[in-house]
Amino acid sequence: MIKISSRDMEAIIEPKGAYLYSLKKEGKNIILEGKERQTRGGMAILVPFANRIKGGNYRWNGKEYSLPLNKEGNAIHGLVMDKVFSIENKRDDAVSLATDIEDKGYPVRLHVNVKYNIASGLTCEIEVKNEGDETAPLTVGTHPYFIVKGMWSILPNTGKKCIIDDKIPTGEMVDYVIDFSDYDCCFLLPGDVTLFSDYSRVKISKPGMDYLQIYTGIPGSVALEPMSGIPDAFKRVSRTQIIE
Tens digit of each residue's pLDDT (9 = 90 or more) over 120-137: 899 999 999 999 999 999
Q: How far apart are CA 36 and CA 21, in angstroms?
A: 10
pLDDT at 220 over 90: yes
Kindly tell me the burial class for residue 149, based on how many C-beta atoms sit within 10 Å of its own C-beta (0-12, 13-18, 19 or more): exposed
- Each domain of the chain, given as residue ranges in start order, spans 2-243
Per-residue pLDDT, 38? 82
pLDDT bracket for residue 34 (50, 70, 90): confident
Per-residue pLDDT, 239? 61
In the chain, the percentage of residues whose pLDDT exceeds 90 is 89
Mean pLDDT of 65-94: 95
Mean pLDDT of 91-104: 97
Per-residue pLDDT, 130? 97
Kindly tell me the burial class for residue 69, based on how many C-beta atoms sit within 10 Å of its own C-beta (0-12, 13-18, 19 or more): middle
Q: What's the pTM value of the predicted model, to 2 decimals?
A: 0.94
Length reported for the chain: 244
Q: If you classify domain 2-243 with CATH, what class do you get?
A: mainly beta
